Structure 1
Amino acid sequence: MGNLTVNRFKGKQILDYIEQLAALRIKIFREYPYLYEGDYEYEMKYLSTYATSEEAILVVAKDDDNIIGLSTAIPLQFETPEAQQPFNDLNLPIEPFFYLGESVLLPEYRGSGIYRQYFQEREAAAIAFGCKKATFCGVVRDANDPRRPHDYIPLDNIWRHFGYERHPKLCAYYEWQEIGASEQTKKPMAFWIKSL
């Protein structure tokens, strides 16, 4: 490893990194539990939410000049309807929530403290915007899923260590095509919340 740096960008500054974010998402989300086949056109459409919002942020991790990871966040009020729907269904106002999007990091850099910095930078942005809570969602898989690698360790304990708790009722449904599948299917995504 060279010189590791983590920097936060906002609004139009994100545009310079959208293609790299799309490529990293496709690469990292092929891993369990997402098993994402990868679709560049879908990625660019999904990421347009962040690229067109003045309040979206992107945290960029580099090793010297090489991008090794990226993480996004945006006030929930500017997120997609899929992310907002579970809150609307429970009559929870979305304005207090800052939505933490993906955190992608090349495997060889995991355990170096960058993941913690992702959370710190995004939570700082949430507080600066005036949000009282941070939230994100993670895919839910059956514990006995035969595709689960024998050495797979869920991130639940890490998320709890960072102060997040899984909400018992908030669940979104996102569609993507899994590796080896012929079409997109909906997957449940459970929300985790932290008061700031």
Structure 2
Amino acid sequence: MPTLEKDEKSLSTPAGKLLTGPAVAGALDALATLRLDIFLEYPYLYRGRREDELNYLRSYAEQPDACVILAAEGGEAIGAATGMPLSHENSQLLEAFADSALNLGETYYVGELLLRPAYCSRGLGRRLLAQLESEVLARGRYRQLTCATVERPADHPLRPPDFIPITRFLARTGFVRLPGVTTHFAWREPDGIQRDHVMQFWMKELQPDQSR
């Protein structure tokens, strides 16, 4: 779950629009472009294919409790938050929680939190996450959020000098690291080589009366 959120400033940002079910299908191309562009950059370094992205994103249109919060400006998608019940995710992801006390039926998985670089440092990441949390709380059956981040060494040769890891944003928004709860995914990097990657899970307790 990547984001480019940095220290936030109180600048005007567009609100996200909630999409569910068939409405998600109409935004698949925009979401695929957003994912392909942002995931290509550090720390994910994911060289994806549009066909694969569209196939993956269709699950958000097909799962009844999935949702997408999409922010656009000038007709272009500039940010998005996506999620679905953890119990609906693939078996490889679920296996990471085999030894965890987490109740999978009460856990909502945040698939992505994406921002165009030009919209970082403007509070859009927090706004999209808050909108997603509000929607999840409204469902009335989820008690926590979980998400996963890719693990990269601090001395990775492609790490930008001004890179700020997502872990800081997660900590500031109430997520805690789940020690030992990890999984592995392989994907092709920009150099064309497919590599294995460790994904670390995080969790946030949802409070119905939480103040935003």
With the length of structure 1 as denominator, give the TM-score of the two structures. Answer: 0.92
Q: How does 1:8-157 map to 2 (within 5 A)?
A: 8-90=18-100, 92-129=102-139, 130-157=141-168
Alignment partners' CA distance in 1, 2:165 and 2:133: 22
- The amino acid across from 2:172 in the alignment is H
Letter in 2 for 1:138: T
Letter of the structure 2 residue corresponding to residue 189 of structure 1: M
**Pair 1:89–1:44, CA change in 2 (3 A):** farther
Contact 1:28 1:106 in 2 (8 A): yes
Distance 1:89 1:175 in 2: 23
Residue 98 of structure 2 aligns to a residue in which SS? Answer: helix
Corresponding residue SS for 1:120: helix
> Per-residue deviation at 1:82?
2.6
Q: CA deviation at 1:77?
A: 1.1
| Paired residue type of 2:86 | L
For the Cα contact (< 8 Å) 1:137–1:190, is it kept in 2? yes
Q: Which amino acid aligns with 1:168?
A: P
Consecutive unaligned residues in structure 1, runs of 5 or more: none
Aligned match for 1:192, one of 202, 205, 210: 202
The 1-side partners of 2:13 and 2:195 are apart by 41
Aligned counterpart for 1:7 among listed residues 12, 17, 40 = 17
Counterpart of 1:25, as a letter, is R
1:92 and 1:65 mapped to 2: Cα distance?
A: 40
**2:5 — aligned with what?**
none
Per-residue deviation at 1:43? Answer: 0.9
Deviating more after overlay: 99-108 vs 79-88? 79-88
Quote the offset at 1:107 in angstroms.
Answer: 0.6
Matched position secondary structure for 2:36 = helix
Runs of 4+ in 1 over 6 A off after TM superposition: none
Letter aligned with residue 181 of structure 1: G
Name the aligned partner's letter for residue 17 of structure 1.
A
Query: 1:167 maps to which residue?
Result: 178
- Return the offset for 1:142: 0.9
Partner amino acid, structure 1, of 2:81: S
Would the aligned equivalents of 1:2 and 1:63 in 2 still touch at CA under 8 Å? no
Shift in Å, 1:2: 8.6
Deviation at 1:83?
2.2
Amino acid at match of 2:91: P
